[in-house]
Amino acid sequence: MKVPFLDLKAQYEPIRAEIAEAIQQVLDKTAFAGGPFVAQFEKEFASFCGTQFAAGVGSGTDALWLALLALGVGPGDEVITVPDTFIATAEAISYCGAKPVFVDVEPVTYNMDPAKLEAAITKKTKALIPVHLFGQMADMDPILAIARKRKLFVIEDASQAHGAEYNGKKAGSMGDIGCFSFYPGKNLGAYGEGGAVVTSNPEFDRKVRMLRDHGQEKKYHHGMIGWNARMDGIQGSVLSVKLKRLPAWNEARRKNAALYDDLLKEVKGVAIPQKAAYAKHVYHIYAICVKDRDGLIAALAAKDIHCGIHYPIPLHLQEAYSSLGLREGEFPVAEKAAAEFVSLPMYAELTGEQIARVAAELKAIVAAPAR
């Protein structure tokens, strides 16, 4: 039995007809760039997130970049984030002309460690970007308390946390701004690139909307220097179809994670993901930790079970950020995670039989004498 890491076709087949109808409506109205289908999705997604506004943009990277620009982040500023995330989080900071500053993560959720924040804040710090890694929110209450005390903005990188909750509050709704990616493999994925910026601050929303459309509120009247970061009409229509199913898909992921937990919790040498007491985890990624990560992945692939790695090189050790002068050993928790994470197959349509096979083969490989 083959177990793919991700099976987008399994999600697509049951909604094929509704997707085709939604796309046909966009074609019939020729509403290709922005337009009513994007506006409808924005309304629906804001309601889902518990915010007043949502602005559809071209990607999750756009969402982070425009959010920072809307908050006035620029040259000379510093923005604190974590090193165990996709590079887009730091790239957005860099493309504003600001400097990314990293703090280590805590070893339960692998999210931003609030206890490390104060020491990293300087007079140049303007914002914090906690990343809700793998579908579990960072510990937002202490992060927000520090931000309020130090008069700093908070941008939630919720690119992996569509529908996740912190003590009942939805991802994206707690900071000044929340940013989402709709890359196809996400819990809520477009059929191409897409992203959104959510907020309950009307001025931040206004600025993001101007920035995504060449700095204009009215056609050919440019109040600021912006960019072309609009969402396509087809993506808006597809996302509206899929958003209705997201709660059920997230619950299926949670059920699958619980089955993995039950099958793997007693396996020596395997650390399963831990859920914080405050969290409703939506398991975009189900990542275990093992010592011989590469060996395990190769052995599972030989059994036609396919895994991933998120992320093998923490950002402070990436060549792209060598100018920061950071060295191995500076963020030990993030570095350990980068060396040991294995992302097991995880999607809503994954079957119990598939999960059982993954667990059985994994147990046998880990227990083998050669290991």
pLDDT tens-place string over residues 315-357:
999 999 999 999 999 999 999 999 999 999 999 999 999 999 9
Q: Which residues contact 117 (CB under 8 A, 6 or more apart)?
A: 80, 103, 128, 143, 146
Domain boundaries, the chain: 8-102+111-243, 247-367
**What's the pLDDT at 362?**
98
Q: Which 3 state secondary structure label does DSSP give 102?
A: strand
Cite the DSSP H helix spans in the chain.
Answer: 8-12, 16-29, 36-49, 60-70, 88-95, 117-120, 140-150, 202-211, 233-243, 246-264, 293-302, 332-340, 352-367
Query: How far is Cα 267 from Cα 137, in angstroms, rounded to an integer?
Result: 26
Is the pLDDT assigned to residue 369 strictly greater than 90? no
pTM: 0.97
CB contact set of 132 (below 8 Å; sequence gap of 6+): 111, 138, 156, 157, 158, 159, 160, 161, 164, 171
Mean pLDDT, to the nearest integer, of 6-13?
98
Residue 172 reports pLDDT greater than 60: yes
How far apart CA 129 and CA 101 sit, in angstroms, is 10
Picking from 136, 135, 139, 117, the residue whose alpha carbon sits closest to that of residue 127 is 117
Domain at 247-367: CATH code: 3.90.1150.10
**Mean of the per-residue pLDDT values of the chain:** 97
Q: Are 314 and 84 in contact (CB under 8 A)?
A: yes
pLDDT digits (tens, 9 = 90+) for 198-228: 999 999 999 999 999 999 999 999 999 999 9
Q: So what's the pLDDT on residue 370?
A: 60
Q: Going by CATH, does the domain composed of 8-102+111-243 fall within 3.30.9.60?
A: no
Amino acid in position 340: E
pLDDT of 60 over the 70 cut: yes
Hunting for tokens 């692998």 — which residue is that? 110
pLDDT over 70, % of the chain:
99
- CA separation for the pair 224, 211 (Å, rounded): 7
Is residue 144 pLDDT above 80, yes or no? yes
Encoding tokens for residue 279? 């969290």
Residues 293-321 have a mean pLDDT of 98
- Residue 71 pLDDT exceeds 60: yes
Compute the average pLDDT of residues 112-129: 98
pLDDT at residue number 180: 99
* Predicted pLDDT at 368: 84
